Amino acid sequence: MWIADQWQDYELLDCGSGEKLERWDRQFLVRPDPQAIWETDRKHPAWRQAGGRYLRSQSGGGHWEKKALPESWRVHYGPLTFQVKPMNFKHTGLFPEQAVNWDFAMEKIQNAGRPIRVLNLFAYTGGASVACAKAGASVCHVDAAKGMVAWARENARLSGLEEAPIRWIIDDCAKFVEREIRRGKRYDAIIMDPPSYGRGPGGEVWKLEDNLYDFVQLCAGVLSDRPLFVLINSYTTGLAPSVLGYLLNLLVASKYGGKCTWDELGLPVTATGLALPCGATGRWFSE
């Protein structure tokens, strides 16, 4: 398991009974987590005093129950700064376990010894985009949601990257990649975090298990002659990390050589010393 254990402004204090207790800088949140199926004694006082708790509804969705919680605030990860805030569907705009992928990407870019162009697909609020730009890459950030792209731009600004070479694209990711192939554009690194389920602009249904192979095959068409890395992240329950590694072996390593690795992502739990699994990542990189 790749464990995101370098945070100062985030801490997973405890988890159990389908919930997790988190510290985001000075704010404490309780959010649902389907992986935490064990019991916990909930000794930490923040279980009762958290500024925000997300409560699921039996009819679907849910709502935030807030005490003294600001509308938004900032957290830092090394040289990176992000705005977080309670959102619909329990989210905060940041997935802290992704810090291990930010570290991986930054290290590869900083040690490449050449200019690197990164394509970040389904890029959300730009955690990976900001990390890659901070490491010196030029970045193309693509997401279909206008609000998420605006949030990502704000994260770039907060991280001192307002003038960095980042293209902000609001578009369907597959359609954009198809156009980049026709335009002859090439990228040295690709990062993708596709959703488990969604609909395209024309009502097309996206289901990860059915569409991921074809999508990765499409994206391989925009890789440069000397690609640096490809990273696939997934939060789809039941999709093993090895599946992501197998796709990368078939579609990238077979052409470029290099190495594939894959594993679960995890967050260390302060109360137990264990790690909570938080999704899967496959990585291909040149050697």
- pLDDT(204) > 80: no
| 3-class SS of residue 266 | strand
Q: What's residue 211's pLDDT? A: 87
pTM assigned to the model: 0.94
Pairs from 196-199 (Cβ < 8 Å, separation ≥ 24): 196/234, 196/235, 196/236, 196/237
Structure tokens at 274: 């264990």
Which one, of 132, 114, 142, lies nearest residue 222 by Cα?
Answer: 142
Structure tokens at 265: 């992502």
Place of tokens 């569409």: 211
Contact 134, 116 (CB under 8 A): no
Report how far residue 92's alpha carbon sits from residue 37's, in angstroms, rounded to the nearest whole number. 22
Q: How many CB atoms lie within 10 A of CB 136?
A: 14
- pLDDT(250) > 90: yes
Structure tokens at 102: 């930010």
- pLDDT(249) > 80: yes
Q: What's residue 96's pLDDT? A: 98
Cα–Cα distance list, 128 to 156, 162, 173 (Å) = 10, 15, 16
Mean pLDDT on 206-230: 93
Q: What's residue 80's pLDDT? A: 98
Contact 42, 16 (CB under 8 A): yes
Q: What's residue 201's pLDDT? A: 61
For the stretch 44-62, pLDDT in tens is 999 999 999 999 887 778 9
CB-based burial, 185-224: b 16+ in 10 Å, e otherwise: ebbbbbbbbbeeeeeeeeeeebebeebbeebbebbbebbe
Q: What's residue 210's pLDDT? A: 84
For the stretch 53-108, pLDDT in tens is 999 887 778 999 999 899 999 999 999 999 999 998 899 999 999 999 999 999 99
- List domains and CATH numbers for the chain: 2-84 (2.60.40.1180), 96-285 (3.40.50.150)
- pLDDT(208) > 90: no
